[in-house]
Amino acid sequence: MTAVLGFGGYVPERVMTNEDWSRLVDTTDEWITSRTGIKERRFAAEDESTLDLSEQAALVAMKDAGLNPDDIDEIVVATDTPEVYTPDTASLLQDRLGCRNVPTYDLGGSGCAGWIQAIDVARARIAFEPKKVLVVGVELISRLISWEDRATCVLFGDAAGAVVLGPGGGKATLVDVISGTDGSKADILTLQTGGTRHPFTVDSAAAGDHQRLDMKGSEVFREAVRRMSSVTLDLLERLDKDIDDIALLIPHQANKRIIDAVGQKLGIADERVFVNVDRYGNTGSATVPFGLWEAYEGGRIQPGDLVVLTAFGAGFHWASAALQF
């Protein structure tokens, strides 16, 4: 069984409130809160980058695991906002941490489900060859969104979360992971400019196309609720568990309406559903690992607890994982 040896998380210091946004775009605190449940979010400082956020979360996770850089055998980073186009952020993180010569790779494009997919890949690697794998979920979205589109700019924040996985021992066991994809729904959430079909050009940059997130909100809502609920139930069935066995559900923090709808569909009590979207907004691939770290650090998780993670993301992807503490 794959074990979680350590947890880590990091958010930048800068707080961006709804009132701050109301001075920049045509919106209000009431409008944002009523539709999303978000009150504030964190934005990276001008001298902070995706690599910096990744490093801070990784250091916390390694310290929690009692490990040094030489103890890490592999690094995986899940992100849709990489440090640079190439090389991968994980390679740069390897050098920053001093984990010399270990294999690294990024998982990108899966949106907010990316980190759960990443731990699934890591556990397969550990099963094949026992090793310690650092798995980071990170997004620095504030630099890539349009600050003029009030429908999307108010949703996002910057953060990083991390775990160190290993072949045994540790603080929790990664019991199982399930994931799926429906590529026919890819068009409901896209950022198209920058690939080979819609490459960067002077004209596209001037038009702000590289910052235009195309989102069919009502369809995303329906698919998110349906898929996160169903994959959670599929996971429980495979484990021969039911909803009452879940001590804490940590869903992707897209917005409060989606979180509430998933909880209602599953029939799980509000107090057993973790929520921090009100304080950090949607931090993409970082929401689940950062939420897991915050719940762990805050005493929301106790020995013997079954913790279930669930997420959805552009693609359209969905994933769920079970941790036994």
Catalytic residues: 112, 252, 282
Q: Spell 133-147 as b/e; 16+ CB within 10 A means b.
A: bbbbbbbbbbeebbe
Our CA angle for 230, 235, 178, nearest 5°, is: 90
User: Do 61 and 163 contact (CB within 8 A), yes or no?
Assistant: yes
Task: Compute the distance between CA of residue 181 and CA of residue 227 in angstroms, rounded to an integer.
Answer: 10
Of 89, 161, 74, the closest CA to residue 123 belongs to: 74
Amino acid (one-letter) located at 118: A
User: Do 69 and 95 contact (CB within 8 A), yes or no?
Assistant: no
User: Do 65 and 8 contact (CB within 8 A), yes or no?
Assistant: no
Task: Compute the distance between CA of residue 226 and CA of residue 302 in angstroms, rounded to an integer.
Answer: 29
Residue 87's contacts (CB-CB under 8 Å, 6 or more residues apart) are: none
User: Looking at residue 63, what DSSP letter applies?
Assistant: H
For 241, phi then psi, to 5°, come to: -120, 170
